[in-house]
Amino acid sequence: MQSWIRHPAWPRVFAPLLVGLVVSLGACGSGGDHDSIFDGGPGDGAAIDGSLRGDGALHDAAHHSDVMSLGRPDAKAGDAGDTFDVVPSTLQTIKVTMGQSTPTVTFTATLGGTAISAAWGIDNGEIGSISAGPSSTGKFVPSGTTGGIVNITAGLNGKTLKRQVFVELTASQSGATAAEASQVATTVASLGAGGGIGGVGGEGLGVAVTDAPTLAALNNPTDGDAGADGGAQGLTLLYPYDQTVFPRGLLAPLLQWSWAPGDADAIEIKLVTTSGSFSWTGTFGKPAILSQTGTSFIRSPIPQDVWSAATNTAGGTTASGKPDQLTMSLVVAKGGVGYGPITETWTIAPARLAGTVYYNSYGTQLVKNSLDNDFNGNQYGAAVLGITEGATGPTVVAGAPSGLDGTGCRVCHSVAAQGSRLVVQHGDNYAGDLAAGTPASQLYAFPPSVAPAVPLAVTGIPADLQAGTPSFSQDMKHIAFDFLGGTVGSATGDGTQLVALDFDQATSTFSNLRVLATMTGGKRAGFPSFFPTNDAVAFDYQIVNSSHLFNTWQGAEAQIWWSDLATGTASNLNALNGLKGDGVTPYLPTGVNNHANDTVLNYEPTVNPVASGGYVWVVFTSRRLYGNVAVDDPWQSDPRSYDDTKVANATDKKLWVAAIDLNAPAGSDMSHPAFYLPAQELLAGNARGFWVLDPCRADGQSCESGDECCNGYCEPGKGDAGLICANSSPNTSCSEPGDKCTTTSDCCDSSDSCINGFCSIASPP
């Protein structure tokens, strides 16, 4: 999805194997002082065997302990004077204001009660830092950007001691800060440009609240009745959805609400983690741009810097061992009365996602190549777009300006999972015959320098096979498709089955047909996309078809389902589709502009090739309401039939993303409520996202995770170089999450799994 979402952390959490520092004492120094001797000296932070890394992480030096001495010259084995200790020894809790690097915590290393130089390390560089030493004291300095528990390790003579600091990060604000200027709308035109304000739409952050009665109402909401939550006014949060799983590194979501008054004077937003590792309160008056648009105050983003701090904190380790979830509460004020709070709780996956989503855009304003003009008499565009890291809008990947002949149109496409090849239709004539060489319809390779593909000579595929929407697994050992016709072995396709075949790359042989789903009553199954575990697929379960197979328009209805290869048990991903736990009751808003049941308006899933944070991540097309931003008729997406320049007419045809639990039992609903994909063009109709890895990076290039790197490792560089691609890990005995692996035993954490060639958290937190 964007290169913006990377696995496993943003920036990566340093989690080295902390073992120890070797120190020799007593041989040198004047006056009998027991000076520590280090090869390279304390200036470069290197231990005698080079085991102390520049980021303060300790590496295995135990193999030197048999040749080094430690302690007083007269100390004997078992003497109390041999005791290595670090104080304070109890969990240290500090409250840190966001953006500040105080207060600090100083730890002291002692041997037999006497201060002694040791090496210091830390397991989470996002939360804070500690000088590597050697030194008798290690001062933990909070980063001021992330809260949570951090492990401090002191190493001496092959022995290590761990101490913990719990950082409670706090912040409050009224109105947007200078750092949040990009989330403040300055012109009406900016509301509909690209992905909208902050990449998510709306009118941006509001002004500071200075009116005392309004502040009092926000601080003490009553709704006219003590303890009420705005229910009498129908106060409801439309987006995001309760219990959504978000990854780290996402653009901040747009809070959207509905209530009877239809407007507000001010709002108060609170974000709090379960453990108290993060807490923030923000109060905002009406965005200034509303004085120009004349519209109501019914939505607000979360400030991006606050969202980054909150999500980098949530999902981390807690003292209880339970997930550190994030709770959002919203209070709205009108006429000196506060209403609410309404609350939702979200899970934050301790990971960032890998790759880029390439998708179709109909009605894009980034390129003009249509066959005719739009509602306003202007030419529009059709292209393949992509979303790049940190951007609030997409860029054109394939599609060229052209006259009213459609020759520049580039939409229907497919992308290699490794991101190296994109194949897209060239031109607007869908009826062309490739075999006959009709020039108006041909396949176009991207980049253009890519030579045409040469079909493989394979066995196991009969000449009469009719296979729709085929998809390979990431390991290239399986293919799944809609079995439309023909005979494979003893099975005959009639369009009612989704099936899989095994594939042997060495012999180019297909075999072992298995049924993944059987449809009845005119329903269909297609667009399968393999999980990164290679043992299951998500697919498009077509309920109602209006004109042709697997379309997303003219009244077509569908849901996203999944099935596993082992048992072929097809099951509805209810939560992804918008249904509560009973599988019947919708939680999605309904009843507006022909949105009678948005749970059957979900299509065309593709799966991220990398498992992140214990989840599979699926991007899919949906015509559901996007809160109160995109609320028109679900079938309105043809620019020729409406004014596509007005923000109020934003089409509902958009891309959404949902998390699916790894390793869930066959037949279960393993999904979670979806979130809107940020940075897609707000006013265009978007569909058919293909989620792929970006081309790999060479050693020495910056990275955030090993799955970005050609040699599979992303490690700290020297000095302030940050994380760079490398051909090995400093911890040569195992791989951290995101680094390459061959088997699960390669992963440092025994609870992790080797999935698709990279170590990954094996189950949701």
Number of domains in the chain: 4
- Is the domain of 143 the same as that of 192? no
Which of 169, 189, 212 terminates a domain? The answer is: 169
- Please give the pLDDT value at position 287: 98
**Mean pLDDT value of segment 502-509:** 95
Q: Chain centroid to CA 278: how far?
A: 20
pLDDT tens-place string over residues 283-293? 999 999 999 99
Distance from the Cα of residue 40 to its chain's centroid: 42
With contact defined as beta carbons under 8 Å apart, do 673 and 219 qualify? no
Element (H, E) at 236: strand 236-239
Verify that 534 and 630 share a domain, yes or no: yes
Lowest pLDDT segment from 443-447, 469-473, 713-717, 733-737 = 443-447
Distance between CA atoms of residues 753 and 353, nearest Å:
17
Neighbours of 522 (CB within 10 A): 11
How wide is the angle at C-alpha 683 spanned by C-alphas 682 and 687, nearest 5°?
75
Given 144, 169, 194, which residue is the final one in a domain?
169
Residue-wise pLDDT tens digits, 535-552: 999 999 999 876 677 888
pLDDT at 26 over 90: no
pLDDT exceeds 60 at position 753? yes
For residue 415, count other CB atoms closer than 10 A to its CB: 26
pLDDT value at residue 701 = 92
**Domain with 118 in it:** 30-169
Q: What is the mean pLDDT of residues 260-271?
A: 96
- Distance CA(203)–CA(189), nearest Å, equals 11
Do 611 and 730 have their domain in common? no
Instruction: Label residue 508 by pLDDT band (50, 70, 90).
Output: very high
Q: Which of 212-226, 260-274, 532-546, 680-694 has the highest mean pLDDT?
A: 260-274
pLDDT of residue 48 exceeding 50, the answer is: no
CA of 699: how far to CAs of 14, 530, 728, in Å?
19, 29, 10
**What is residue 192's predicted lDDT score, i.e. its pLDDT?**
94
What CATH code is carried by the domain that includes residue 622? 2.115.10
Contact 153, 122 (CB under 8 A): yes
On whether the CB atoms of residues 39 and 46 are closer than 8 A, the answer is yes
Higher pLDDT, 729 or 219: 219
Q: What mean pLDDT comes out for the span 549-568?
A: 92
Mean pLDDT of 680-685: 95
Residue 45 has pLDDT above 90, yes or no: no
User: Does residue 274 sit within a domain?
Assistant: yes
Give the domain-ending residue among 638, 659, 692: 692
With cut-offs at 50, 70 and 90, classify the pLDDT of residue 735: confident
Amino acid at 407: T
704 in a structural domain: no
Q: For residues 626 and 653, what is the distance between their CA atoms, to the nearest angstrom?
A: 9
Instruction: Look up tokens 């050609």; give the residue.
Output: 710
pLDDT bracket for residue 720 (50, 70, 90): low
Give domain status of residue 700, yes or no. no
- Report the candidate in 153, 148, 111, 114 with the shortest Cα–Cα distance to residue 130: 153
- Residue 87: CB atoms within 10 A of its CB come to 12
The overall average pLDDT reported for the chain is 84
pLDDT band of residue 390 (cuts 50, 70, 90) is confident
Same domain, 333 and 477: no
| Alpha carbon distance 410, 425 (integer Å) | 6
The predicted pLDDT at position 407 comes to 86
Q: Give residue 606's pLDDT.
A: 94
The reply to whether 1 falls in a domain is no
Give pLDDT, residue 430. 45
Residue 18 lies in a domain: no
Rounded mean pLDDT, 433-455: 48
* Burial (CB count <10 Å: 0-12, 13-18, 19+), residue 52: buried
Query: Is 699 within a domain?
Result: no
Both 328 and 402 in one domain: the answer is no
- The reply to whether 280 and 365 lie within a common domain is no
The terminus-to-terminus CA distance of the chain in angstroms comes to 22
State the burial class of residue 534 (Cβ atoms within 10 Å of its Cβ: 0-12, 13-18, 19+): middle
**pLDDT of 432 higher than 50:** no
Q: Tell me, yes or no, whether 19 lies in a domain.
A: no
Question: Has residue 299 got a pLDDT over 70?
Answer: yes
Alpha carbon 361 to its chain centroid, in Å, reads: 22
| pLDDT tens digits along 53-109 | 333 334 332 222 222 223 333 333 344 458 999 999 999 999 999 999 999 999 999
Q: Are residues 204 and 220 in the same domain?
A: yes
What tokens appear for 34 in the block? 């027991």
Q: What's the average model confidence in pLDDT over 222-244?
A: 81
pLDDT recorded at residue 65: 25
Q: How far apart are CA 258 and CA 278, in angstroms?
A: 27
Question: Which pLDDT does position 443 carry in this prediction?
Answer: 45
pLDDT at site 81: 56
In a shared domain, residues 497 and 615: yes
pLDDT over 70 percentage in the chain: 84
- According to DSSP, the residues that pair with 347 across neighbouring strands are 245
Of the pLDDT bands very low, low, confident and very high (cuts 50, 70, 90), residue 206 is: very high
Q: 464 near 483, Cβ under 8 Å?
A: no
Q: Do residues 291 and 217 share a domain?
A: yes
Q: Which two tokens stand for residue 49?
A: 């065997």
> In the 8-state DSSP scheme, what is residue 197?
G
Q: What is the CATH number of the domain that holds 230?
A: 2.60.40.10
Confidence of residue 153 (pLDDT cuts 50, 70, 90): very high
Band of residue 748 on the pLDDT scale cut at 50, 70, 90: confident
Residues 381 and 515 in one domain: yes
- Same structural domain for residues 256 and 147? no
Query: What integer pLDDT is reported at residue 35 of this predicted model?
Result: 27
User: Comparing 692 with 612, which gets the higher pLDDT?
Assistant: 612
Lowest mean pLDDT among 64-78, 245-259, 367-381, 487-501: 64-78
Q: How many Cβ atoms from other residues are within 10 Å of residue 342's Cβ?
A: 19
CATH code at position 143 = 2.60.40.1080
Residues 398 and 545 grouped into a single domain: yes
Phi, psi of 697 (to 5 degrees): -105, 145
Q: Dig out the tokens for 475 from the structure.
A: 């390991």
Tokens 């009365």 locate to: 337
Q: Is residue 709 part of a domain?
A: no
pLDDT over 90 at 560, yes or no: yes
Assess contact for 546 and 554: CB atoms under 8 A: yes
Q: Compute the half-sphere exposure of residue 19: CA atoms within 13 Å on the CB side of its CA.
A: 18
